[in-house]
Amino acid sequence: MSALLLAGCGSDSARRVFVLGLDGATFDLMDPLFEEGLLPNLAAFRDRGTHGELKTILPVISPPAWTSATTGVNPGKHNIFDFFQLPRGTGQPVLTSALDRRADPVWRVLNEEGFRTGIMNIPMTFPPDSVDGFFISGFPYGRIRSGIAYPPELEKEIAVYPLDPFGESIQPGQEGRLLKVLRDTFERHAEVAKQLMSDKDWNLFWVVFTGTDKVQHFYWKFADRNHPEYDPVLAAQFGTAIRDFFVRVDQVVGELVALAGPDTDVLIMSDHGFGPIYRELRLTSWLLEEGFLEVSERGFERVDAMAPGPFGGLVRVNRQGRDFRGSVPVEEAPRVRDDVRERLESLVDPETGRRLVEAIYAKEEIYEGPYVDNASDLVFLAAPGRFVGRKASGSVDVWGLPSYTFSAFHRPNGILMAAGPSFPPSSKRQSLSILDIAPILYWLFDVDLPRDLDGRVPAELVGEEALAARPPRIGDRTVVIPPGASGLGDESQREVLESLGYVQ
């Protein structure tokens, strides 16, 4: 669509906003690097605008976090809770995809308002949306190796484009190889981002780099002398891997912000923070030990409660009428849930005497909307230094070292930095929510906010005077898609997922 046509639609074709996602970035890591002068571009950006910690939602994992950012609604409204779902009518876990998203993302609304959008590598956006602009999907992708872009010919334009894998690990002797993959992927994605930013027409360009997350997951133990897997020999080789990665990211940030130009409003954000993990609770083993599971040589004989995902602090009651071979009567499900909750709340690591859980919630306490029942019945945040997995391979031990080859995992404290014509400078670190991102974007483009958003336009970010002069307008539109059109229980939907390699 030409700039003339855009202007005719009532939009300001000159208005531009650039959102740069650094998956897993946290001030806990960045502040010391700022003090050392190692992140000059990010520091300069922070100092000419405003910034704050961006509180994410639970569970603290990428699919619900990024989807909450792009839609402005909580998981009970957008239906993305985890990497996997347990469909009704089958016990097979299904990899969650953008087909499961039940709320319109910000680019769909902006397109309707006449703005062109460029989306690149945001997690949980495969398969790609058809947009007025361009779109490159983010992970997970299932087994596909193509079909990630819209329009389809864009895939040829970007030529070699490495896809972020899902489920990679760091193996002894392969530390250097994995690090090279992470670096090479980041470099190529940065090149493509610069190419698209320069060559394409856009009003909103939103790109996410995931290497900042992965390098912390796998290389934290080489820089942390307190980590139980710290090895001084490997530390000499890989102890600066995270620092060096962020130094290179800082250089690219400087290039991208310069390309965006001084008249563009820029937001730099993450979906969550990060911190080390020293001990792990194997949740399936714990549920077995506590009597919520019964196992024989033939497999599970009775399942009252289960761990539905590989990590993230989730418990699902095996409820009759909802879950595959559900065994717990509907009227008994709350009792089972509360029993699990009470035991987890009091659970301590026998080696350290420290509690596992920092916070634990029933789904109704943190989610609201038509899809709440698709969530796990309990959602909890492990205490700092603790990790929740299913169980170690070949082991029934309840406690142990992190078994997923992670040495760090997500924390709730992400980042948001904003600078540009619409953001007054402030040195005070604000407290913001990831649900605020979509409302901020609607406000920046001066369009009506959908009336069912859960976030807000924070005055502490855009300024009291600016917000008073142009208060957010709430329109009649809603972004939440009502239940009933399709779902994972629908055979046609299942066929699509199988064709994409999503059914595991």
Residue-wise pLDDT tens digits, 236-260: 999 999 999 999 999 999 999 999 9
Quick check: 342 pLDDT over 90? yes
Average pLDDT in the 370-377 region? 96
- Per-residue pLDDT at 9: 44
What is the DSSP track for 2-58? -HHHHHHTTS-TT--EEEEEETT--HHHHHHHHHTT--HHHHHHHHHSEEEEEE--S
Alpha carbon distance 53, 48 (integer Å):
17
Domain 14-272+412-499 fold is: Alkaline Phosphatase, subunit A (3.40.720)
Mean residue pLDDT of the chain comes to: 91
Of the candidates 500, 503, 476, the one whose C-alpha atom is nearest the C-alpha of residue 144 is 500
- Per-residue pLDDT at 94: 87
Average pLDDT in the 427-454 region? 97
The better pLDDT of the pair 376, 486 is held by 376
Quick check: 232 pLDDT over 50? yes
Number of H-type helices and E-type strands within the chain: 18, 21
Q: Of 107-116, 306-315, 479-488, where does the model show the most confidence?
A: 107-116
- Per-residue pLDDT at 211: 98
- Per-residue pLDDT at 489: 41
Percent with pLDDT over 70 in the chain: 92
- Per-residue pLDDT at 219: 98
The better pLDDT of the pair 502, 120 is held by 120
* Range 82-85, long-range pairs (CB < 8 A, 24+ positions): 82/308, 82/309, 82/312, 82/314, 82/376, 83/140, 83/166, 83/309, 83/310, 84/308, 84/309, 84/310, 84/504, 85/374, 85/488
Alpha carbon distance 59, 474 (integer Å):
29
pLDDT digits (tens, 9 = 90+) for 156-214: 999 899 999 888 999 999 999 999 999 999 999 999 999 999 999 999 999 999 999 99
- Per-residue pLDDT at 91: 72
> How many other C-beta atoms can be found within 10 angstroms of the C-beta atom of residue 458?
20
**Banded model confidence at residue 391, pLDDT cuts 50, 70, 90:** low
Quick check: 500 pLDDT over 80? no
Average pLDDT in the 461-468 region? 95
Quick check: 493 pLDDT over 80? no
Quick check: 310 pLDDT over 90? no
Alpha carbon distance 408, 406 (integer Å):
6
pLDDT digits (tens, 9 = 90+) for 3-40: 333 333 445 668 999 999 999 999 999 999 999 999 99
Q: Which CATH number fits domain 278-404: 2.30.30, 3.30.1360, 3.40.1350, 3.30.450?
A: 3.30.1360
CATH 3.30.1360 placement within the chain: 278-404
Average pLDDT in the 37-63 region? 97
CATH 3.40.720.10 placement within the chain: 14-272+412-499
Alpha carbon distance 347, 367 (integer Å):
25
Quick check: 498 pLDDT over 60? no
Interhelix angle 27-35/40-48, rounded to 10 degrees, is 100
- Per-residue pLDDT at 167: 85
